[in-house]
Amino acid sequence: DIKWVSAEELGNGKNTDKYLSDVHGIVVSGRFGEKGLNGKIEAVKYARENNIPFLGLCLGMQCAVIEFARNVCGIDADSEVIHKKRNSNGEMRLGSYSCNIKPGTLLYEAYGTDTVSERYRNKYEFNNKYKEEITSKGMIISATSPDEILVEAIELERHPWFVGTQYHPEYKSRANRPHPVFREFIKAALKHQQK
């Protein structure tokens, strides 16, 4: 079963358990704008603290980094601090780009290779100013651009299945050929359900 929860219902942090206590996987999807941002961050926190499989897509990955920066690293973070705009004219990163997958990660396990091509539609990027501090506390940079400048995906060290992607795997997923990231997320959710 799929349970749709409006991020706005979780925004104050008081209803999180009411809406999420019976789920076995949490997906935080991408979108533009601040609407529901705090609720998305609350959903990420719930997944992290309760070892629920998590998949963050684009803004969902950004929310995962913000939540981790705030609650694990003690950084006063929001989307402007932790994620910088690609450039001053608001240009977006659109289309297909290569990214390198770090061996030994959940993403590497999903893809079975260290280089993939994924599709993007984003204005913001991970702010590398915080990379060392965040990774020292247990966040893994599991994929980067070929030049290793852009963070393309993150994971958590001590979590059964927690993945955030800057790219949009849904653009390459088909009913008869699901994207490897979705396939592995569903496997993790089913495993969580069996506990």
Determine the 3-state secondary structure of 97 from DSSP.
Answer: strand
Catalytic residue among 9, 24, 73, 170: 170
Whether 168 sits among the annotated catalytic residues: the reply is: yes
Pick the CATH number of 7-193 from 3.40.50.300, 3.30.360.10, 1.10.357.10, 3.40.50.880: 3.40.50.880
DSSP secondary structure of 136-186: HTTEEEEEE-TTS-SEEEEEETTSSSEEEESS-GGGG-BTTB--HHHHHHH
Catalytic residue among 42, 168, 179, 184: 168
Catalytic residue among 42, 58, 118, 152: 58
CA–CA separation, 35 and 129 (whole Å)? 26
Count CB neighbours of 73 within 10 A.
17
- From first to last of the 195 residues of the chain, give the pLDDT tens digit: 888 888 888 877 788 999 999 999 999 997 666 667 889 999 999 999 999 999 999 999 999 999 999 999 999 887 654 455 555 556 778 889 999 999 999 999 999 999 999 998 887 788 899 999 999 999 999 999 999 999 999 999 999 999 999 998 988 888 888 899 999 999 999 999 998
Neighbouring-strand partners of residue 122? 93
**What are the extents of the domains in the chain?**
7-193
CA–CA separation, 151 and 128 (whole Å)? 8
